[in-house]
């Protein structure tokens, strides 16, 4: 069943291929994510996950095929235009405003949400004060949701690694995404941090946010995904529930093969 035929699909990847010179990074990829669903994109190293991710978010243009979000084709859109549609990504490496406070980071993330006007700001009119107060409330709400509100005053760079990743998600959430793309969010996190992150993902899901997750951490992926798409050598080799994936011979083969090669 292709995505175009699925009426519930919020994000649809259709016939996407990506060639770098002679190298085929992705060949004919088709999958979709339904409204409110959590889909994980997994695969051994070099399977093409990051390339797929970059294509979906507009950072790279596919050689062939198209990606649509809520029926709008993302072809030719710049990253910030994709963001404006409500499809927001986090980065693999942390990307924050390092030297300013966590709270200010989120306030900056909320930049497009403000209705403050310049003259009103300078005169400190009630309208602008109200807008600023609302913005601050929103920032607190996001910080509480992500669970780092007790560190609001800290400099972003001084947070522990896991919390920096959470702040990265907070920045993404500030753009009020209807779909969130998480690029290896728990890589480098310890078990406690990962646990907190899973909690956050569940909270986001409860709010109806659609999530596409690219991740290495198998237990996490198996635990929280509705559906898993497995990539290997730029090709989708499986697409199904965690249970189906765990028992899929192709998937086992792909991961075992990888394991053997590593040993």
> Six-digit token pair at 199?
């909690």
Q: Is 80 in the site for another protein (CB under 8 A)?
A: yes
Smaller CB distance to another protein: residue 140 or 233?
Answer: 140
Residue 153 binds to another protein (criterion: CB under 8 A) = yes
Nearer to another protein, 105 or 239 (CB): 105
Residue list 102-121, contact with another protein (CB under 8 A): 103-104, 107-109, 111-112, 114, 116, 118, 121
Residue 151 binding another protein, by CB under 8 A: no
If one asks whether residue 69 binds another protein (CB under 8 A), the answer comes out as: no
Query: From the CB of 92, what's the least distance to another protein, in Å?
Result: 14
Candidate segments 5-13, 66-74, 124-132, 225-233, binder of another protein by CB under 8 A: 124-132
Nearer to another protein, 30 or 176 (CB): 176
| CB closer to another protein, 62 vs 109 | 109
Does residue number 99 form part of the binding site for another protein (CB under 8 A)? yes
Inter-CA distances, 25 with 17, 28, 55, 58, 66, Å: 8, 10, 12, 16, 16
Closer by beta carbon to another protein, 130 or else 243: 130
Query: How many angstroms separate the Cα of 244 from the Cα of each of 26, 150, 221, 241, 258?
Result: 23, 41, 13, 5, 20
Segment 175 to 234, residues that bind another protein, using CB under 8 A: 175
140 binds another protein (CB under 8 A): yes
Residue 212 or 254 having the CB closest to another protein: 212
Site for another protein contains 5 (CB under 8 A):
no
Q: Which residue from 77, 174, 214, 245 is in contact with another protein, where contact means CB under 8 A?
A: 174
Does position 158 bind another protein by CB under 8 A? Answer: no
Beta-carbon contacts of residue 196 (< 8 Å; ≥ 6 apart): 147, 162, 166
Q: Binding residues for another protein, per CB under 8 A?
A: 79-80, 83-84, 95-100, 103-104, 107-109, 111-112, 114, 116, 118, 121-122, 124, 128, 132-137, 140, 152-153, 171, 174-175
């Amino acid at each position: 069943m292709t995505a175009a035929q699925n009426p519930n699909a919020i994000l649809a990847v259709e016939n996407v291929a990506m060639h770098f010179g002679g190298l085929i990074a992705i060949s004919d990829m088709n999958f979709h994510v339904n409204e409110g669903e959590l889909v994980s994109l997994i695969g051994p190293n070099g399977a093409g996950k990051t390339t797929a991710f970059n294509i979906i978010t507009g950072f790279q243009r596919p050689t062939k095929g198209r990606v649509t979000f809520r029926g709008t084709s993302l072809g030719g859109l710049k990253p910030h235009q994709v963001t404006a549609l409500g499809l927001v990504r986090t980065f693999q490496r942390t990307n924050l405003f390092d030297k300013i406070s966590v709270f200010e980071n989120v306030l900056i993330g909320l930049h497009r949400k403000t209705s403050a006007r310049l003259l009103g700001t300078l005169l400190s009119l009630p309208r602008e004060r109200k807008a600023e107060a609302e913005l601050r409330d929103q920032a607190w709400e996001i910080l509480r949701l992500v669970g780092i509100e007790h560190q609001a005053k800290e400099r972003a760079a001084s947070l522990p690694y896991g919390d920096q990743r959470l702040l990265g998600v907070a920045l993404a959430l500030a753009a009020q995404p209807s779909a969130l793309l998480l690029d290896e969010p728990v890589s480098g996190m310890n078990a406690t941090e990962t646990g907190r992150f899973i909690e956050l993902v569940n909270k986001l899901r409860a709010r109806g946010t659609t999530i596409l997750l690219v991740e290495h951490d198998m237990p996490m992926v198996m635990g929280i995904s509705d559906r898993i798409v497995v990539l290997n050598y730029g090709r989708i080799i499986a697409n199904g529930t965690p249970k189906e994936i765990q028992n899929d011979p192709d998937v086992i083969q792909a991961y075992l093969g990888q394991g053997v090669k590593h040993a």
